[in-house]
């Protein structure tokens, strides 16, 4: 994790007169937006044993982070199907091997529900891969946001700050331009996450008909 103050040398000179606490909050807000758009910070959470007959699991994320999106869920090494929480109605199936999952947020805590409830407990059988975002009160950000995506985060923070009216650093045109730069960086980061950063072969193998 990297202290948010590490971003200041790249941000403060472009928003002269901005108090550091305001700059820090803008960086956090920009990082949250960047993570939501890019899904750049992903981890597999610690495996969980789901008790027989239970469906709900609270997703515990590293300190100063929360879940931006659940990406994949495995139960007993099999991928479960995602069902939107608002559309899920089949919750009373007899206990069996879970095949589906849904996610609900209670007091900003992500709760995963698997269906049907397991009929047998599989030791550490539930594995969840998530994309993370910082909490609003974060004082540190994930290393990758600084090492690889610092320009996108700083551009997003500039966009936020320059849009504040009646400040020495108010600049509507710059806010728009930096917002566009931040979105472009998030789009590139999402492509990195989805397709990796490796070079794939462009050759095509011919197949006989």
Give the residue ranges of DSSP H helices in 2-71: 8-11, 20-38
Q: Which residues contact 123 (CB under 8 A, 6 or more apart)?
A: 49
3-class DSSP assignment, residue 97: coil
> Quick one: pLDDT band at residue 203, thresholds 50, 70, 90?
very low
pLDDT the model gives residue 206: 40
Give the torsion through C-alpha atoms of 139, 142, 147, 153, to 10 deg. -60
**pLDDT digit string (tens) for 123-180?**
999 999 999 999 999 999 999 999 999 999 999 999 999 999 999 999 999 999 999 9
Query: pTM of this prediction?
Result: 0.87
Backbone phi, then psi, for 200, in 5-degree steps? -95, 155
Q: What percent of the chain has pLDDT over 70?
A: 91
> Quick one: pLDDT band at residue 197, thresholds 50, 70, 90?
low
Calculate the CA 64 to chain-centre distance: 13
Q: How far apart are CA 36 and CA 187, in angstroms?
A: 11
Q: Which residues contact 101 (CB under 8 A, 6 or more apart)?
A: 70, 73, 80, 81, 82, 83, 112, 113, 114, 115
pLDDT the model gives residue 209: 37
Calculate mean pLDDT across residues 21-43. Answer: 97
Give the residue ranges of DSSP H helices in 19-118: 20-38
Length of the chain in residues, anyone? 209
- The answer to whether 11 touches 158, Cβ cutoff 8 Å, is yes
Calculate mean pLDDT across residues 177-184. Answer: 98
- Give the closest residue to 151 by CA, choosing from 68, 38, 19: 38
> Quick one: pLDDT band at residue 86, thresholds 50, 70, 90?
confident
**pLDDT digit string (tens) for 58-68?**
999 999 999 99
- The answer to whether 132 touches 44, Cβ cutoff 8 Å, is no
3-class DSSP assignment, residue 189: helix
Q: Taking all residues of the chain, what is their mean pLDDT, rounded to a whole number?
A: 90
The answer to whether residue 202 scores a pLDDT higher than 60 is no
């Amino acid at each position: 994790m990297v202290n948010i103050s590490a971003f200041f040398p790249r941000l403060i000179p472009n928003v002269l007169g901005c108090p550091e606490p305001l700059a820090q909050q803008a960086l956090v807000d920009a990082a949250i937006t960047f993570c939501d758009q890019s899904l750049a910070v992903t981890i597999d959470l610690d495996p969980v044993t789901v008790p027989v007959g239970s469906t709900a699991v609270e997703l515990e994320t590293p300190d100063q982070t929360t879940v931006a999106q659940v990406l994949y869920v495995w139960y007993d090494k099999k991928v479960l199907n995602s069902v939107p929480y608002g559309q899920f109605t089949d919750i009373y199936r007899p206990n069996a091997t879970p095949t589906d999952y849904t996610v609900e947020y209670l007091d900003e805590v992500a709760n995963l529900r698997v269906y049907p409830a397991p009929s047998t407990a599989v030791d550490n059988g539930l594995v969840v891969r998530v994309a993370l975002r910082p909490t609003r009160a974060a004082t540190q950000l994930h290393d990758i946001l600084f090492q690889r995506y610092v320009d996108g985060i700083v551009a997003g923070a500039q966009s936020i700050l320059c849009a504040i009216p009646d400040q020495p650093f108010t600049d509507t045109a710059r806010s728009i331009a930096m917002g566009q730069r931040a979105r472009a960086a998030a789009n590139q980061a999402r492509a990195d996450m989805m397709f990796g950063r490796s070079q794939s072969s462009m050759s095509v193998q011919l197949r006989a008909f």
